[in-house]
Amino acid sequence: MAKNEEYVRKPEWLKIKLNTNENYTGLKKMMREKNLHTVCEEARCPNIHECWAVRKTATFMILGDVCTRACRFCAVKTGLPNELDLKEPERVADSVSIMGLKHAVITAVARDDLKDGGATVFAETVRAVRRKNPFTSIEVLPSDMNGEYENLKTLMDAKPDILNHNIETVRRLSDRVRARAKYDRSLEFLRRAKEMYPEIPTKSSIMVGLGETKEDIIETMDDLRANNVDIMTIGQYLQPSKKHLPVLKYYHPDEFQELKEIALSKGFSHCEAGPLVRSSYHADEQVNAAKQQA
């Protein structure tokens, strides 16, 4: 075990600069006052200081902060969620206005306790943000909502500007890494979203460093393209705590660059790949670049 721990010691390129300027502290204060959650905090994102303090962006996490799933890579709390907060969509919309966001990302915990998987509140949040912020583009990042067609349709009928659903890892490792979610169900979810509204870009993300091979990653790229996914992001898995899956490999930035080039050669309109890349990292730039390629 000691040998393995030595092997996966964090490399220099994963060191991040902390920045707690007034933008960062101001946004943190506003989130608490509005009783809102962000995946930036709950998932312990390594980019929180850059996004909050420099870019002044954030990814809102609706439907509470307790997830019904216990994926082995994720730091979000697991348990029995609270009742739905039907005023949450308006608070998110108000916060987007206060922050002056040009691009808002809305994600959520998995709510397998709800028949619609949270789709109704998701859709209401999209509509509220659009009503109060007509010039803000909106990206949604839902769970698979139990794979139910009507749940996805409820969300897609709100017409977000981009539908993002993460497949998270390669097929061979999916059952070990994810809880309840299924690799093929995620592919079906992405394909159905594109079939419902072909003009809305779709996006997905994987983490690397969990024991996958280069061939596994390329297979996932092919699977995503076969289901008409437009944008792909690839980032380094970082172990949130000792209870979570260990990191088996830290990829070098040059390896991420190679994966990006392979993805683009496969036909993705845009690919963001790097050690600190996350699904919603520089999301506005990803969407704009994809549109330019369309």
pLDDT of res. 3: 42
| CA-to-CA dists, residue 208 to 56, 113, 277, angstroms | 27, 30, 11
Query: Residue 271 annotated as binding?
Result: no
pLDDT grade for 8, boundaries at 50, 70 and 90: low
Residue 285 has pLDDT above 90, yes or no: no
pLDDT grade for 6, boundaries at 50, 70 and 90: very low
Query: Residue 45 annotated as binding?
Result: yes
User: 191: how many CB neighbours lie within 10 A of its CB?
Assistant: 16
User: 34: how many CB neighbours lie within 10 A of its CB?
Assistant: 16
Report the pLDDT averaged over residues 93-114.
86
**How would you classify residue 56: left for phi > 0, otherwise alpha for psi between -120 and 50, otherwise beta?**
left
Average pLDDT, the chain: 84
pLDDT of res. 43: 47
Report the pLDDT averaged over residues 57-65.
80
pLDDT of res. 109: 82
Report the pLDDT averaged over residues 55-71.
76
pLDDT of res. 291: 62
pLDDT grade for 214, boundaries at 50, 70 and 90: very high
- What is the Cα–Cα distance from 88 to 54, expressed in whole angstroms? 26
pLDDT of res. 51: 60
Report the pLDDT averaged over residues 178-196.
94
pLDDT of res. 66: 80
- What is the Cα–Cα distance from 187 to 154, expressed in whole angstroms? 18
Q: Which one of 30-34, 133-137, 190-194 scores highest in mean pLDDT? A: 190-194
Tokens describing residue 132: 């109060």
- Lowest mean pLDDT, pick from 6-20, 226-240, 259-273: 6-20
pLDDT of res. 189: 97
Report the pLDDT averaged over residues 265-292.
78
pLDDT of res. 42: 47
Query: Residue 280 annotated as binding?
Result: yes
Residue 9 has pLDDT above 90, yes or no: no
Report the pLDDT averaged over residues 57-80.
77
Name the residue with tokens 């870009």. 201
- Lowest mean pLDDT, pick from 44-48, 176-180, 225-229: 44-48
pLDDT grade for 36, boundaries at 50, 70 and 90: low
Report the pLDDT averaged over residues 274-282.
77
- Lowest mean pLDDT, pick from 124-133, 149-158, 226-235, 276-285: 276-285
